[in-house]
Structure 1
Amino acid sequence: MSIHDAEHYVVSMSEMRRLLENSVQNSLLIVDEHENIVMASDQFVRFSGYSAEEIARMAFSQLFKVRATLSELYTFYFGPGSGTVERPHGFLLSKEGEAIHYQFSMLKIAREDKTLYLLAMKQHMEGPQLTLLQRFSDTFLKDVNLGVLLISMDYKLVDISDMACRILGLERDPILNMSLDDVFATVPAEHRLVQRTILNGVIVRNHAVSWTNNHERFELLLDSNVLKDSQGNMVGAYIIFKDVTNMRSLEEMVQRSDRLAMIGQIAAGTAHEIRNPLTSIKGFLQVIRRTFEQQGMSKEQGFTEVMLTEIDRINELVNEFLLLSKPKHVSYERIDVSEVMRNILPIINNEAILYNVNLQYEASYHLPDVIADQELLKQVFLNICKNGIEAMPDGGTLTITEKVDTAERNVCIDIHDTGSGIPMFLIDKIFDPFFTTKDTGTGLGLSVCQRIIHDMGGSIRVASKGFGTTFSIVIPYA
């Protein structure tokens, strides 16, 4: 595009000549009343970073950060007459996404069939500093290990950092300039990360928030405040949050380990004293049951069988106590997790059939070996799979997925059920000793599993969002 291509639009030659002279150092743009770009000077092409062909296909609003039409801008800055006084304005977006601040002169050319606007621009004298600040802002939002949301006065999302998108489960481009009511439309109002009260000047410091997206649960520490211009007028607000999930998990792990250690010490000290009398009681009850059987006293025989069953249950509880204390005869060696899982699949499948549950096994061949105790690993897998199956009394699907996290050097086993899920107010308690939602449960199964995996240097995570639960068993590979 040549600058002379627009000569047949010229009405005021003196004004046009002045603009043309300015365009030697400045950038010249001609836009029609529909905001289509009619012509751009070579200087503007270099200024913007786009090619002439790309600019020809663009609208004014695609290049410039403005919320008004050209007619409104012209009237606001220059009044109803012709205006040529330079005024600082906003910024245009270059092809690389850089915000370039500028000043401009503007001329309105009215013809019988159309209206044109001529803009002569040059970079604002504070542009280099502002561009540097903008570059820092762009880099900050992309690279910083913080969640950042910038909010306008009309409660729209102006910008969001990459980390915030990852944690909140959002995609950046589709939600920019969208109302936050629409961004969080699927979340109940009382549980939304952003509340409209932020625009009333409500300041938040170190507010603890739990957030669950479709894959993970995060513990966040949130700050928010308002943004004001140089006159003290509020122009927007921001929210900054830090992911403290690992810190919270570590704190809970330490507290839980302390409780388990205390229970283990008690168990180790009392198990022997409990088992000795139980063995004697069980032996005498077996003799009595045989006597009742010989004498045809079926009613009394039934009573002894109930008592023997309860004694066996007490013995199982004592065994779990001993596991909390310190697993005996632990043998750590290189283990193929896939082989361990395949060995117990028939047991899991038989349990699934009893509950009308479909079992799906998604194997990952050539998993790296882990350092673990094979029998204890079987116990963990069986316990968590059994819990998942029992969470689907009306049938469903239990999915076991193997995968490798090469970034963290972990082998991951995900066990997902399609049950009713775990309520948010209970999910933090399921690994606590003696906590159970089962009528006949001891509340030690998951505590023991967590202790076993922690001793192997791994972790167990749980995620539930009302349509199933996923337990992720993570073990570092050798």
Structure 2
Amino acid sequence: MRSVEWLRGYLPNTLRGKLLLVSLAVVFLPISLTGYLLEREGRQALVQEKTEKLFGLARLLDANLGPGYDALLADAGQSGDDREAAIRSLSAKLTPFTDLVAAANPGVGVGYYSKALNAIITYGPSRDYSTTVGTSIPPEHPGWRVLESGHKAVESGPQVRGFILNAMLPILRDGTVIGYIWANELSDDVERQAAAMDRSVLTVSVGGILLGLGLTHALSRRIARDIRGINEGLMLMRSDLGHVIAPPSGEVGEIAVEINSMARALLDARSLTENILNSIADGVIAVDWAGQVTAINPAAEQMLGVAAAGVIGKPYESLFKPDHRFASPLLDTLKTGRPHVGVALDFPAPKQTLYLNVSSSLLRNSRGEAIGAVVVLKDLTEQRRLRTQIMRADRLAALGELVAGLAHEVRNPLTSIRGFMQFLESCEDIKEWQRYAPLIVRQVDSLNRLVTELLEFGRPRPPAIRSVQLNDLIHEVSLLAGRKTGARMALDLAPDLPLVEADGEALKQVVLNLIINASQATPETGSIRVVTAAETGEGDRRVAIVAVADDGEGIAPENLDKVFDPFFSTKPNGTGLGLAMAHRIVDAHHGTITIASTPGAGTTVTLRIPFLHSPADQA
């Protein structure tokens, strides 16, 4: 890592310097490598050409030898027994041809060697190397490897006549190596030709490098000038997006054109953003990391009763009433990074407390780095005032319906009691009194039951929360309700249902009421089914499901919205408080109760009760 940092310290910082450095690498290295490869390949090709030429000469000598040394000796009437005489005889016959070949190829030496005589037979040109005839090659001479292996070989190094490139061809007659033929050339000649080729490659390489560097230098000056102009224009655009950069020619000019287009688009986007912020009805306030206001739109100014000039640069807390404890979602987002969406709260503005819907989130720059936070304020004060009026009107309307229903429910028993008493007022027969007294008592009991249910409905007690096993509770209620109905009852209870934090007695009342309602709507040949299950509701909250279904007469569609209203009942003797009471009990457990019904097909009532009862939910 330190070596990399050290190297960076020596690299140029300007674009022009980097272009020159890159061009040096791009031009110098390829041309140098190409020159090296050309020189290497040229030298190898030169050596290969020389080698082929030398072997060609060796093959000419091999063809001139004919059947071999023994045949030449036999023609001369000689034998191999007298070594010196045999060498002189063979040399006399072969020297003219070797001199001829050597004369036709200046600088080349050729000759024959006999394995049987272990001597050089001829070495042309003979005027220079005749003294070597009759001598033997030393043991380390590569010619021995050719004689032993029977394969041609090429050697470069010091040999008989100096530092040479020597091509050696074995002489094979009847499958036997009888000697070898060589053709060699002084390495000085080879090196001289290779050096001339190297000079040519070097000249071309250096010329190419200098030309490339010159062109790069000129091009880099032009590019540096154009980029300097664009950079100066960008510096001006920091304060004036309307500034236009004069585009140079070429691709750099296209960059300038695109920068101008982007600046215009950014200017248009800024104008559009400002127009949107100035036009929307919701208040928008932005703060930096220090919590100081950086932007506020006119809607927020009007909502809070402040002026932008008076709050820009000041702490966000200055928008609250002094010494007012207020948990601001914006400041919490600024502190924790956690966004808030749709939080309804009372905002202590300087002039009045507003009821606002607040959403806050972090502000990020183009690199995704948080630079502050923004809050959107929606004024719900007037909506809450209107909603309060509507709720008051709804309560008055509900109270009117309750009073009307109560009057209707009370009037019928009172009318019956009054009629009985008017009849008994003039009756002196004790039997008549005994006959009508139980009827009067039943009417009074009916009034008492109505008043009791009404008190229960009007003054609900808080639920006594404890752990309840719903399946056990339903078993108990079903046994009690089963004696009052002839319908077939089936239980489908989840075996692994967890305990529920609830008021068991209150839930018994709800389930018993639902089963009784189902039995009253179901003929004796019908069936009632009670199901329990567990599911995940909203906010990943686990809830218990209790469903009571029947195949009875069902509920008319126009009555579905009224079944939870007090005193609404389709049964002749019903008070209409049973389902209203059940709804209140389920609400006290922070659950829901829903009804689905099809006339003539049956009704299903579904309870959803959270497994965990949180008292904080009541707040």
Same fold (TM over 0.5): no
More strand by share: 1
The TM-score normalised by the length of structure 2 is: 0.30
Structure with the greater alpha carbon radius of gyration? 2
